[in-house]
């Protein structure tokens, strides 16, 4: 699933094509999944932003076009056999592709996220000043497993399966540890690790895995997968200096989870 780095990369690439342009047509055949999109037609794009894994396109007349890429969604500059939405601009056509059809679009009044509950309760952005150690410590006062807490988006926004595994590996924390059991030094390590991992992943354009479901709009892959230390490395040697363990895979919160049993021990 595209996470913060992939969505931010998409936003940065698309913004020059969108900014100041008027949406001429927005075509699809699935009004249940792509809601009220007719309201965006004729509207001028004032800017773009991102909240967690949501791309937000700010329109005139106090409207927002919100896109969640789902598991396999993305934008292309060329037609694709899995194109679901076609967005016509005066000098460019953008094609939203989504092989598995889990992505969703909404057009809403600016800031009215009643249809998108997660946006109403999402935690701070990990690379923003709002993401403070004090807030993070408070959010981890729960018996839930730390991997589940990270995926829930309330402690910190935009961290999904890939970057939760990478952050937990970097901070040497077992994914099944109860969040409340983490010591202050461990919380501090995880807080710093999330920021480091996200910053590096954004710089690398996100992660393109073996299924190639995520690509940048120009068709180029992301490159952070070459820096993965845990995710999708089952059975491979741990990259931590001095560690002789191998990456294992378990299921936490219904998600495949990668970690090193030797240097991420489940001590409580």
Annotated binding site for DNA: 82, 100
DSSP structure class, residue 260: -
* DSSP code per residue over 44-100: BEEEEEEETTEEEEEETTTEEEEEE-TTT-EEESS--TTEEEEEE-SS-EEEEE-TT
Sequence spans of domains, the chain: 4-120, 133-259
Helix 161-171 to helix 184-203 angle (10° resolution) is 130
Q: Is the pLDDT of residue 129 over 90?
A: yes
Phi–psi pair at 258, nearest 5 degrees: -110, 135
Q: What is the mean pLDDT of the chain?
A: 96
**254: buried, middle or exposed (CB in 10 Å: 19+, 13-18, 0-12)?**
exposed
Per-residue model confidence as pLDDT tens digits over 252-261: 999 999 999 9
> Bridge partners of 64?
58, 108
Q: Going by CATH, does the domain composed of 4-120 fall within 3.20.190.10?
A: yes
Q: Going by CATH, does the domain composed of 133-259 fall within 3.40.50.1970?
A: no
Annotated binding site: 82, 100
Residues catalogued as catalytic = 2-3, 53, 255
Per-residue model confidence as pLDDT tens digits over 229-242: 999 999 999 999 99
Per-residue model confidence as pLDDT tens digits over 193-202: 999 999 999 9
Two tokens at 166?
């990478």
Question: Tokens 């936003």 — which residue?
Answer: 11
Helix 4-18 to helix 184-203 angle (10° resolution) is 40
User: How much is the pLDDT for 268?
Assistant: 58
User: How much is the pLDDT for 5?
Assistant: 97
């Amino acid at each position: 699933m595209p996470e913060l780095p992939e969505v931010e990369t998409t936003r940065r690439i698309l913004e020059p094509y969108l900014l100041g342009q008027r949406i001429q047509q927005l075509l699809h055949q699935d009004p249940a999944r792509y809601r009220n999109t007719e309201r965006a037609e004729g509207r001028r794009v004032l800017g773009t932003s991102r909240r967690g894994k949501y791309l937000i396109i700010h329109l005139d007349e106090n409207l927002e076009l919100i896109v969640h890429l789902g598991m396999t969604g993305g934008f292309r500059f060329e037609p694709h056999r899995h194109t679901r939405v076609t967005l016509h601009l005066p000098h460019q056509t953008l094609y939203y592709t989504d092989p598995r059809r889990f992505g969703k679009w909404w057009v809403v009044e600016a800031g009215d996220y009643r249809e998108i509950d997660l946006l109403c309760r999402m935690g701070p952005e990990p690379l923003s000043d709002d993401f403070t150690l004090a807030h993070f410590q408070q959010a981890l006062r729960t018996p839930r497993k730390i991997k589940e807490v990270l995926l829930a988006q309330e402690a910190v926004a935009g961290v999904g399966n890939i970057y939760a595994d990478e952050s937990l590996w970097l901070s040497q924390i077992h994914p099944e540890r109860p969040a409340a059991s983490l010591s202050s030094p461990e919380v501090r390590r995880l807080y710093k690790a999330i920021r480091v991992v996200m910053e590096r992943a954004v710089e690398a354009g996100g992660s393109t895995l073996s299924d190639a479901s995520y690509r940048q709009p120009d068709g180029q892959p992301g490159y952070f997968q070459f820096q993965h230390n845990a995710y999708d490395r089952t059975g491979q040697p741990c990259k931590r200096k001095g560690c002789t363990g191998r990456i294992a895979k378990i299921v936490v919160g219904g998600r495949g989870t990668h970690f090193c049993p030797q240097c991420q021990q489940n001590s409580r």
